[in-house]
């Protein structure tokens, strides 16, 4: 398990680039955190580390976006599972788990049935995030002020835990 504080969005992207450089086809990354925690920012960094064609944007309304590699590596499949109620619905997306790096936002409790190994990254945004996330969850639409609050540059606490054989011998290995 790895735990650290990312002081700003730049640090979150740097962590994503470093992580992307070690990911390979077949890897599944689950991102958990409140609205505005930095899940898409982290995915943008992962995409840069993988050398994919961007831009990486939240796939909220399309559920999944595939970004091909520009360097002959695995493509990035970026999934927003917020509206998916089960692993079966995730499987119904017919994603290429074996030949892609799959990053699933809001995927906790869903990927365990589709893969034997995954990296779970939990992002906590302790400063002011609860009020902003609650306001956003009940908003009819995201206005400029709310959008700015969600994008505010404040520290995040990041915990990464690897599960299954792929992550058993890495610094991310979950500890019992």
DSSP symbol at 113: G
Cα gap 57→94, rounded to integer Å: 20
- Joined tokens for residue 49: 């580390």
Distance CA 11, CA 7 (A): 6
pLDDT for 78-97, tens place per residue? 999 998 888 888 889 999 99
pTM over 0.75, yes/no: yes
pLDDT, position 102: 98
Q: Is 83 helix (H, G, I), strand (E, B) or coil?
A: coil
List, for residues 25-68, the tens digit of each pLDDT value.
999 999 999 888 999 999 999 999 999 998 999 888 889 999 99
- In angstroms, rounded to a whole number, what is the distance separating the alpha carbons of residues 18 and 159? 15
Residue reference for tokens 């996330």: 133
């Amino acid at each position: 398990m790895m735990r650290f504080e990312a002081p700003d969005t730049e640090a979150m992207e740097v962590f994503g680039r470093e992580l992307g450089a070690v990911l390979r086809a077949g890897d599944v990354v689950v991102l958990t955190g409140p609205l505005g925690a930095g899940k898409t920012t982290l995915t943008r960094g992962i995409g840069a580390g993988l050398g994919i064609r961007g831009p990486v944007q939240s796939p909220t309304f399309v559920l999944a976006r595939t970004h091909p590699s520009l360097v002959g590596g695995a493509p990035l499949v970026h999934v927003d599972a917020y509206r998916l109620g089960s692993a079966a619905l995730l499987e119904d997306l017919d994603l290429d788990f074996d030949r892609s790096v799959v990053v699933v936002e809001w995927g906790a409790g869903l990927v365990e049935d589709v893969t034997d190994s995954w990296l779970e990254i939990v992002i906590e945004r302790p400063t002011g995030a609860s009020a902003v996330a609650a306001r956003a969850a009940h908003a009819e639409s995201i206005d400029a002020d709310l959008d700015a609050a969600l994008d505010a540059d404040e520290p995040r606490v990041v915990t990464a835990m690897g599960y299954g054989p792929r992550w058993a011998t890495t610094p991310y290995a979950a500890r019992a």
